[in-house]
Every structure is written in C-alpha cells, then in structure tokens.
Amino acid sequence: MRNVLPWLPCHLATLQPFPMKNRLKIPLLLAPALTVILLFFVGGLVLAVMQSLGYMPIIGRHEVSLDAYRAIFSREDFYRSLALTTWIGLVSTAVSTILAIISALALRRAVRGRRITTFIFQFNLPIPHVVGAIGILFLFSQSGFLARLGHMGGIIREPADFPALVFDPYAIGITLEYVWKSTVFIGVILLAVLLSLGDSYEDVARNLGANRWQRFRFVVLPFLMPGIMSASILVFAFTFGAFEVPLLLGQRYPSALPVLAYRSYTDVDLNARPEAMAMSVIIAAVIGVLVFVYMQLSRRFLRED
C-alpha cells in the first residue's frame, strides 16, 4: 500500500485531460453540420426576415416596417393560395398515409417474393419530384398519353375531352404526384416498424379472441402511431413548402403559396421582394409549428412507452 499511494496522484493527473477531450469530441464532430446549418439555414432565414421587414440597402431601403405583411394580408390571392396549399398538403398526406398503411401491412404478410416486391415498392424513392411531375404531365394532361390512348380507343372523341387532371382548380395532378412519392416514403418507415414488431403481440391477441380488426386497432396501430405521426408531419411540411411540383402542374390562379412567393421573388421590380420574403417567412413559421407539434407528440409517445 505504501508503494501504491505515492503513485496515485501522478496517475490521477494523467487521467485529467481525458474528460476534457470527451467533452470536446461531440462538438467537434457536430461542427461541420452545425456550420452548414448556421450559414445557410439560419443565415438565410435571418436575411429573409430582414428583407420581409423592408430592410434592403441594395435599393436604398433602410427603414424597418411591417408594410409587406400588411400588403399580403390584404391580398385576396394570398388567402386563395394559402387555402390551396393547405388543401394540397392535407389531402396528399391523408391519402399517402392510408395507402402506406395498407401497403406496409400487405408487404409484411408477403411470404414469397417479399424482397423483390419491397424493392419494386420503393423503386421511386430516389426519383426527384421534378421527374415525377413531368411524368404526371405526360400521362394525365389533356394532350398526354392517356388522353391520346382514350381517343385512339374511341372512349373520347378527342384528347381535349379527357378530364382536366393537370392545371385544374382542385390540384389533382399535384396531389397525384405527391401521393405517388410520399406513399413509398411513409410505407418504408411503417414496414420497418412492422417487421421489428413481429407476430407475438398479435398472436396473444388472437388467442384471447380478438378478430383481425381488433388486432389492428388495439395492437398494431398503437405501435405504428409514432411512425405515422412523424412521417405524415414531415410529408405535410414538405408539400406545404415545395414549389417545383405546383409550378409545373398547377394552374396560374390561384397558385400554391410557394409558387406565389417565387413569382414575387423573381419579379423584375425589387420592391416586390419584401412581400415574397414575407410569404416565405409565413411558410417557414407554419413548418416550424409543425416541427414543434412533432416534438411534442414524440415526447408524448415516449412517455406512454
């Protein structure tokens, strides 16, 4: 013991730097991602807020005011665009979620060919939304493939008689593209949850006399709810803020809110820039509220588990 004790302070001294290294390790690993987020996201958001308040030194505007917000809240096309964007997001998310649940349950029960079936199901995941929008345009427009096929088959007299599914007031073409893409995104998440769940819980419920609907309602669905909530909120946030698909497939008036903001941003008159930024800030605020709701729901499900 006498030989060990003199060495103990020296040994503790050699161990002191390691906690400091461990504390610095995580910030250093996160530094590249945090730098990108701070520069591009936070910096861009701050710049958008400043310009939405009218601060644009490039054109000699140095005063800060809420004139841009007052202007857009007094425009009828803003409310029409906001309603259309909300409609697109809600319908796309609801339909995609229902189809994703059905697809995940079907793929889970597939015994033969599950691997190739799952591969085909998630084949469109890497395909960009712009490519999907062009495909919808070529297929469902009144001069597209289905219209010409119906004309050749004698179903309609001319391609113009084909139902207006693109550039229509109900945004059917936009919704079709989002459903085509988002169903797979949500379905892959739910399928992973179902495969990790196994059959033991359902077997217990079956032995207790629960029918198929009761097993789904009281056993499977509670396990799927965290994945459903997180994926659906992400899908709604994306469809609410994306502009490329509504720009390609939507009508001119009313247009989706991101498209309206984009057109104001690309206006040759720089005085329209604050209104475009004000609409962008409103879109970001809605998405921020959705992220907050998602975090609260996640905590709730974690507490219940």
CA–CA separation, 282 vs 49, rounded Å?
A: 10
CA–CA separation, 93 vs 191, rounded Å?
A: 17
Question: What is the predicted pLDDT for the residue at 157?
Answer: 82
SS3 content of the chain, % helix, strand, coil (to 5): 75, 0, 20
pLDDT band at residue 90 under the 50/70/90 scheme: very high
Question: For residue 5, what is the DSSP state?
Answer: G
CA–CA separation, 252 vs 169, rounded Å?
A: 10
> Into how many domains does the chain fold?
1
Q: Is the peptide bond prior to 57 cis by the omega test (within 30 degrees of 0)? A: no
Question: What is the predicted pLDDT for the residue at 19?
Answer: 53
- Nearest residue to 102 (alpha-carbon basis) of 236, 228, 230, 234: 228
Domain of 242, in residue numbers: 75-304
For residue 146, is pLDDT > 60?
Answer: yes
Q: What is the DSSP string of 82-147?
A: HHHHHHHHHHHHHHHHHHHHHHHHHHHH--TTHHHHHHHHTTTTTS-HHHHHHHHHHHHSTTSHHH
Please report, for the domain that includes residue 291, its CATH number. Answer: 1.10.3720.10
Q: Count CA atoms closer than 13 A to 291's CA, side-chain side.
A: 7
250 within some domain: yes
57 within some domain: no
Q: What is the torsion angle, in degrees rounded to the nearest 10, for the CA atoms of residue 170, residue 171, residue 173 and residue 179?
A: -110
235 within some domain: yes
Give the pTM: 0.80
Angle at 235 between CA 98 and CA 118, to 5 degrees: 60
CA–CA separation, 275 vs 265, rounded Å?
A: 8
46 within some domain: no
Question: What is the predicted pLDDT for the residue at 112?
Answer: 67
C-beta separation of 174 from 250 below 8 A: yes
Percentage of the chain modeled with pLDDT above 70 = 88
60 within some domain: no
Q: What is the DSSP string of 46-68?
A: HHHHHHHTT-BGGGTB----SHH
pLDDT band at residue 124 under the 50/70/90 scheme: confident
Question: What is the predicted pLDDT for the residue at 80?
Answer: 92
220 within some domain: yes
